[in-house]
């Protein structure tokens, strides 16, 4: 027991040290850590717990859970949550909500949305939770490609006791609603879900339900020592992607048809309003939201209130080695969100890089990581952005590598994907471009503007200060090929690409010699550096992180 306690004390001491920013030039984050495994291919770690201790020391922010309130308290943790969803299988949240509802004289069933009429949904995919639900709830029926859910109409419940007797069922005022109990008519999301499982939709129309949910998150986040919550995916909600209605579909609490843009928009507005209440009442709770599926501009009706509630935007696969120049020149929204004061976790994926062509080549994998960090530094805003690289993995977690996502299996994924030695190099703050170099322009129709500016159209943006070190095939302000640069007080980052993304032939392009605006040393994956140089050779879709040579400093 004493040994266990001493180990916990040591872990907490190490985690507490991570409260100061880990790396000098940017923040770092883990996304959904967990599933730690004992490494099989390195002596650096002797256990899964050693891997977890390493992760504790190498991130400023965690979107997930250390599976320990004590460790969460020593870190900065946002727990994953989806306020719009209630699990198909009763869990701790549903049990808590039901208990609180009964204690206050409320109907626990009011937490759910319900179909007001018998409804058939198209079903193309299957998963374990839905199969289990079909077995335990015989009133649900399924054919090869549809799922039938009975509807609930309160008008059929003439004695208002929450269920239909045989007589009431036979004499239903609305014969198109055949549910015996309201629970049979819950709005069930059957479309493919990014995070697995089947879900019921939450009823935000009821203020009592909102109050109960807020109390649940207050209690849960306090118990787990979290500073707030992170929603991995806000949409789709009630649209055709998740509710492909074949017949029926009327939602009782919204008086709208499921699977329509109107239902999606109304429910999104309710969800955004709830997030505002949650943030206000749990102040200073921090809220993070993934940008997946969201249009943050130009529709200001819902987008503006949403942006005002979110403290941290998570951008999955925002950066990839072969993303190309066009995507970079269109990515002004990151700098607009930053101008509004929001932070961002910018997630790097190396799925389309040189390692795709050469999966067994160690240097190809390391080069893709270097390019990913160089791209990240093009967008880095110290104090507001966090780096996370999820490599080429199918899942975002802390498990070991396999032959498909690294050149060598059996290594902790986060350990190999985070270029610790490179991040330790102090580049300082981003600064303006050197004199004589042409600025990169934003090209996102209908918006166009100088990346040095603080306004783009009608939107405020943080200046990116990007400039061209090389460009060819010039058409207006968009070259067919070029090298983008961004200068730091003590460094420089570069990226060579063509306009189009994912061009396999360009991945094999011959290296090109590029003159540098000064003398620099190149920093490699393992922290080693080149000799001081005034030029660099870059291949296709290749980025580089450079530090000022001592003579320049």
What backbone torsions phi and psi does residue 262 show, to the nearest 5 degrees?
-65, -45
Question: By three-state DSSP, how is residue 360 classified?
Answer: coil
Spatial neighbors of 351 by CB under 8 A, at least 6 apart, are 317, 320, 392
Tokens 């100088």 correspond to what residue? Answer: 450
CA–CA separation, 13 and 9 (whole Å): 6
**Tokens 């002596």 found at:** 43
Nearest residue to 501 via CA among 331, 275, 306: 331
Please report, to the nearest 10 degrees, the dihedral formed by the alpha carbons of residues 95, 98, 99, 103 taken in order.
Answer: 170
Backbone angles phi, psi at 374, to 5 degrees: -60, -45
- State how far the Cα of 29 lies from the Cα of 191, in Å rounded to an integer: 30
Query: What are residue 130's phi and psi, to 5 degrees?
Result: -65, -40
Residue 315 token pair: 């951008």
Residue 548, CA distances (Å) to 27, 379, 490, 544 in order: 21, 19, 5, 13
Q: What is the pLDDT of residue 8?
A: 54
Task: Report the C-alpha gap between 499 and 479 in whole angstroms.
Answer: 7
Burial class (CB in 10 A: 0-12, 13-18, 19+), 318: buried
Q: What is the DSSP letter of 503?
A: -
Strand ordering across the sheet containing 119-122: 141-142, 146-149, 119-122, 245-247
Write out the two tokens for 357. 């062509």
Q: What angle do CA 157, 164, 89 make, to 5 degrees?
A: 105
Task: Report yes or no: 228 and 288 within 8 Å, Cβ to Cβ.
Answer: yes
Q: In this structure, which long-range contacts are made by residues 259-264, counting pairs with CB atoms below 8 Å and at least 24 apart in sequence? A: 263/238, 263/239, 264/235, 264/236, 264/237, 264/238, 264/239
pLDDT tens, per residue, the chain with 553 residues: 454 455 555 555 555 444 689 999 999 999 999 999 999 988 899 999 999 999 999 999 999 999 999 999 999 999 999 999 999 888 999 999 999 999 999 999 999 999 999 999 998 766 666 777 777 777 888 888 899 999 999 999 999 999 999 999 999 999 999 999 999 999 998 765 544 568 999 999 999 999 999 999 999 999 999 999 999 999 999 999 899 999 999 999 999 999 999 999 999 999 999 999 999 999 878 999 999 988 898 777 889 999 999 999 999 999 999 999 999 999 999 999 999 999 999 999 999 999 999 999 999 999 999 999 999 999 999 999 999 999 998 889 999 999 999 999 999 999 999 999 999 999 999 999 999 999 999 999 889 999 999 999 999 999 999 999 999 986 667 899 999 999 999 999 999 999 999 999 999 999 999 999 999 999 999 999 999 999 999 999 999 999 999 876 6
Closest CA to 433 of 487, 387, 395: 487
Could you give the 3-state DSSP secondary structure of residue 152? coil
The reported pLDDT for the residue numbered 394 is 85
pLDDT at residue number 12: 54
Give backbone dihedrals phi and psi of 516, rounded to 5 degrees, phi first.
-105, 150
Question: Which pairs from 66-70 meet CB under 8 Å and 24+ separation?
Answer: 66/33, 67/34, 69/223, 69/224, 69/225, 70/8, 70/12, 70/225
Query: What is the reported pLDDT for 126?
Result: 64
Beta partners for 226?
none
């Amino acid at each position: 027991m004493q040994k266990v306690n001493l180990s916990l004390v040591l872990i907490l001491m190490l985690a507490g040290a991570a409260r100061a920013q880990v790396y000098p030039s940017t923040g770092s984050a883990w996304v959904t850590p967990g599933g730690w495994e004992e490494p099989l291919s390195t002596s650096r770690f002797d256990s899964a717990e050693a891997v977890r201790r390493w992760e504790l020391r190498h991130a400023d922010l965690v979107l997930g859970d250390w599976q320990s309130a004590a460790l969460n308290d020593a870190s900065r943790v946002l727990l994953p949550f989806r306020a719009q969803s209630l699990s198909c299988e009763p869990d701790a949240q549903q049990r808590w909500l039901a208990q609180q509802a009964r204690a206050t004289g409320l109907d626990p069933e009011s937490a759910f949305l319900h179909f007001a009429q018998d409804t058939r949904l198209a079903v193309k995919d299957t998963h374990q939770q839905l199969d289990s639900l079909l077995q335990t709830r015989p009133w649900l029926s399924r054919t090869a490609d549809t799922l039938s859910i009975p509807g609930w109409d309160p008008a059929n419940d003439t004695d208002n006791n929450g269920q239909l007797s045989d007589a009431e069922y036979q004499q239903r005022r609305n014969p198109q609603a055949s549910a015996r109990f309201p629970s049979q008519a819950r709005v069930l999301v059957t479309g493919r879900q990014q995070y697995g499982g089947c879900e019921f939709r939450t009823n935000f129309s009821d203020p009592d339900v909102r109050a109960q949910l807020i109390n649940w998150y207050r209690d849960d986040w306090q118990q787990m020592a979290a500073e707030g919550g992170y929603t991995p995916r806000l949409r789709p909600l009630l649209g055709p992607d998740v509710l492909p209605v074949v017949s029926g579909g009327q939602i009782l609490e919204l008086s709208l048809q499921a699977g329509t843009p109107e239902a999606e928009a109304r429910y999104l507005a309710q969800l955004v309003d709830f997030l505002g209440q949650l943030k206000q009442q749990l102040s200073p709770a921090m809220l993070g939201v993934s940008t997946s599926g969201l249009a943050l501009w130009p529709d200001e009706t819902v987008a503006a209130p949403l942006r005002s509630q979110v403290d941290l935007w998570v951008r999955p696969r925002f950066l990839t080695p072969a993303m190309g120049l066009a995507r970079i020149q269109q990515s002004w929204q990151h700098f607009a969100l930053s101008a509004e004061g929001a932070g961002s976790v910018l997630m790097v994926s190396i799925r389309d890089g040189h390692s795709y062509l050469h999966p067994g080549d160690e240097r190809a994998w390391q080069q893709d990581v270097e390019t990913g960090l160089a791209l990240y530094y093009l967008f880095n805003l110290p104090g507001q952005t966090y780096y996370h690289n999820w490599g080429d993995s199918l899942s975002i977690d802390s498990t070991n590598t396999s032959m498909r996502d690294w050149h060598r299996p059996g290594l902790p994924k986060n350990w190999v994907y985070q270029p610790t030695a490179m991040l330790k190099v102090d580049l300082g703050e981003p600064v303006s471009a050197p004199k004589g170099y042409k600025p990169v322009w934003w090209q996102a129709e209908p918006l166009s503007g100088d990346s040095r500016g603080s306004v783009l159209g009608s939107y405020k943006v943080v200046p990116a200060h990007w400039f061209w070190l090389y460009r060819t095939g010039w058409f207006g302000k968009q070259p067919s090929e070029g090298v983008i640069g961004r200068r730091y007080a003590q460094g420089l980052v570069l990226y060579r690409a063509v306009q189009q993304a994912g061009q396999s032939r360009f991945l094999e392009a011959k290296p090109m010699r590029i003159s540098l605006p000064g003398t620099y040393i190149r920093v490699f994956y393992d922290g080693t550096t080149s000799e001081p140089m005034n030029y660099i050779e870059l291949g296709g879709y290749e980025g580089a992180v450079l530090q000022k040579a001592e003579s320049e400093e």
